[in-house]
Chains A and B, each alone.
Chain A
Amino acid sequence: MAAVITPGKRAGWTAIDVVVAIWVIVPLLWIVSLSFKSPAAIADGNLWPTHWTTSNYSSIFQTSDFYDALRNSVGIAVIATAIGTLLASFAAYAIARLRFRGKQLLVGASLLVAMFPQISLVTPLFNVLRVTHLFNTWWGLVIPYVCFSLPMAIYILSAFFREIPRDLERAAEIDGATPLQAFVRVIAPLAAPGMVTAFILVFLFCWNDFLFAISFTSSNASRTVPAAIAYFTGNSSFENPIGNIAAAAVIITIPILVFVLFFQRRIVAGLTSGAVKG
């Protein structure tokens, strides 16, 4: 974008930004608003609370349950994302760049893993985790998360690796780099938009998973936030827990904001343009 930024252009983009922001923010605002309403006012239908209260927030921090769940969520999601994107980037590089027998089979089979309805896998997986003593442990969630995020990560990454000009690797090889060095120093940085995208999507998949989290955990040792939310009861058994649920949702969305804000900067255009000229 070498074009001059005119005031008209700036105003146009601001207008579009505002429209999109409204589409995103209004439903969010509703959940934030629910989290600040008192149990009595929760069903009054106002988009904005008439009387603000932080009782929902204080009530979810009354016991250690929510702290434990937060710790589990962060730990499990970070480990699973790190392992998942690393394994996926190896496989994706091979798929995008190398010729080997069984490649098509591998690509197809990994897609099958992504396609099977997970709901029907819960019972047999539960039995496997129990037999291997992984039930209700961090690894009991990390391993399934890695497995079921691999197909998408492999697809995303191989789509990016294949767009990187081959001449760059060859140049690195001629300069004496080993294939590993070429990958780490040349390919991975150039595929940064794809790496970051895969990283963010895998992280969100682990962070938000409910089905496995509720099925494969039984205590604070490994229960993640989405599963912990399901056990919210409100202050008494007659009270609707929606206020507490909303408060918990607001709290666990904040780490996501920080995470995305931090990583999205790496998605930039034109990294490869001009790299192979001359």
Chain B
Amino acid sequence: MTTTLTPPESPTGGQAPAPLSRSERKRLSKGARQEEHLGWMLCAPAVIVMVAVAAFPMGYAIYLSFQRYSLRFPNLAKWVGLNNYGAVLGSKFWWQAFLITVIITVISVALEFVLGMAFAMLMHKTLVGKGFMRTLILIPYGLVTVVAAYGWQYAWTPSTGYLAKYLLSSTAAPLTHTGTSIALIILAEVWKTTPFMALLLLAGLSLVSEDLLAAARMDGASAWQRFIRITLPLMKPAILVAVLFRTLDAFRVFDNIFILTGGANNTASVSFLAYNNLFKALNLGLGSTVSVLIFIAVAIIAFIFVKLFGAAAPGSEA
């Protein structure tokens, strides 16, 4: 190992770097420079695309959030500082929508994680029709969201739907009450996006070494112990990605609400509020403010996740 110069490794193997002599350190710093150069070369294309496409629109949206700017009264546009933020945060509609969004996010992500893990296990282990089951489980995620939502809306509406016909009394209209509407929105979300979770977790499962599990079995570990002590910890990076990206998405829930209830009966989410302000009221200032607040809320959630998972986060040295 001493004949070739290897870049300083980030200690994924767990061994602490040995103290270095002066000449070694000098050579290493040259290697480190090369490594830094290569790192940036590899990241540059992705960074360029993201900056070129996203930076200006994001900056512009943030800028608009400090403006009084409605397309109906473009002449009255002016800089109003934090006034829009005061208006949104002082509004009961925002907090109502925020509460609904949190409820939908927490329940649907929790259900999706449990179901997704079960599906991933099935896709990984089933002895019967593996390829078929893997494909079948993924279909709901492949279905266009708006169409899937239309299907549910039709199914639950009395007189047009089989679910309303077979499961409910003839007078019940579940999409006209807050509680049942929220439950059906969650059902639609869970049905649609559990495959996303399952696919990511399946890929995570495929990294768990069978040798390790077999060894644990020899040592008398039960199936549950093997799952909790070996499989779950090894899947931590995959779980982080799956739960994080699902949570970010769930917090911006829009399509299903738009189709299923149109935001009626207090079922509007925060994204729905942004849509109403931007595209219905044409109030770009307030709409952008709502968007930035959603962004901040989502950023806080992401920060908490990454901190909780610590070493499993991408790019962390652990």
Which residues on A are within 8 Å of B, measured CB to CB?
Answer: 1-2, 5, 9-10, 13-14, 16-17, 20-21, 23-25, 27-28, 30-31, 34, 42-47, 87-88, 90-104, 106-107, 109-121, 123-125, 128, 143-144, 146-148, 150-152, 154-156, 158-160, 162-163, 166, 170, 173-174, 179, 193-194, 196-197, 200-201, 204, 207-208, 210, 225-226, 229-230, 242, 245-246, 248-249, 252-253, 256-257, 260-261, 264-265, 267-274
Contact = CB atoms under 8 A, between A and B. Distances in A.
A160 B234 CA distance: 11
Interface string B1-30: 000101111101100000000000000000
B203 A160 contact: yes
Give the dominant DSSP class at B's interface: helix
Nearest to A106: B43
Nearest 7 A-B pairs (CB), nearest first? A100-B39, A120-B291, A256-B142, A159-B237, A147-B53, A124-B57, A94-B42
B80 interface: no
B144 A252 contact: yes
Contacts of B161: 45
B295 A270 contact: no
B210 A162 contact: no
A269 B312 CA distance: 20
Contact of B165 (A2, A5, A45, A116): A45
Contacts of B53: 125, 143-144, 146-148
Given A99-B36, A103-B39, A253-B143, A116 B61 contact: yes
Contacts of A1: 125, 210
A177 to B, nearest CB: 12
Contacts of A120: 61, 274, 278, 287-288, 291-292
B61 A147 contact: no
A95 B191 contact: no
Interface string B200-217: 101111111111101000
Most chain A beta-carbon contacts within 10 A, residue among B43, B145, B244: B43
Contact of A117 (B7, B8, B274): B274
A246 B138 CA distance: 19
A148 B53 CA distance: 9
Contact of B38 (A16, A98, A121, A269): A98
Given A10-B128, A150-B46, A204 B137 contact: no
B162 A114 contact: no
A270 B151 CA distance: 40
A267 B202 contact: yes
B203 A88 contact: no
Nearest to A125: B57
A193 B206 contact: yes
Contacts of A21: 133, 136
B54 A147 contact: yes
A128 B60 CA distance: 11
Interface stretch (B83-91, B152-160, B174-182, B260-268): B152-160
Nearest to B279: A119
B151 A166 contact: no
Given A87-B49, A121-B57, A155-B314, A99 B237 contact: no
A147 to B, nearest CB: 4
Contacts of A92: 314
A271 B206 contact: yes
Contacts of B207: 160, 163, 193, 272
B66 interface: no
Interface in B34-77: 35-36, 38-40, 42-43, 45-47, 49-50, 52-54, 56-58, 60-61
A92 to B, nearest CB: 8
B232 interface: no
B186 interface: no
A28 to B, nearest CB: 6
Contact of B206 (A23, A100, A242, A269): A269
A221 to B, nearest CB: 21
A123 B291 contact: no
Given A163-B237, A173-B4, A95 B43 contact: yes
Contacts of B135: 257, 260-261, 264
B61 A94 contact: no
A229 B145 CA distance: 12
Contacts of A96: 314-315
Nearest to A154: B46
Nearest to A114: B248
B277 to A, nearest CB: 10
A208 B193 CA distance: 13
21 contacts: A17-B129, A21-B136, A24-B136, A27-B155, A30-B155, A31-B143, A95-B315, A99-B32, A99-B317, A115-B248, A116-B54, A120-B274, A120-B288, A147-B50, A148-B53, A152-B241, A179-B38, A200-B199, A242-B154, A253-B139, A261-B131
Contacts of A208: 142-145
A113 B50 CA distance: 7
A88 B6 contact: no
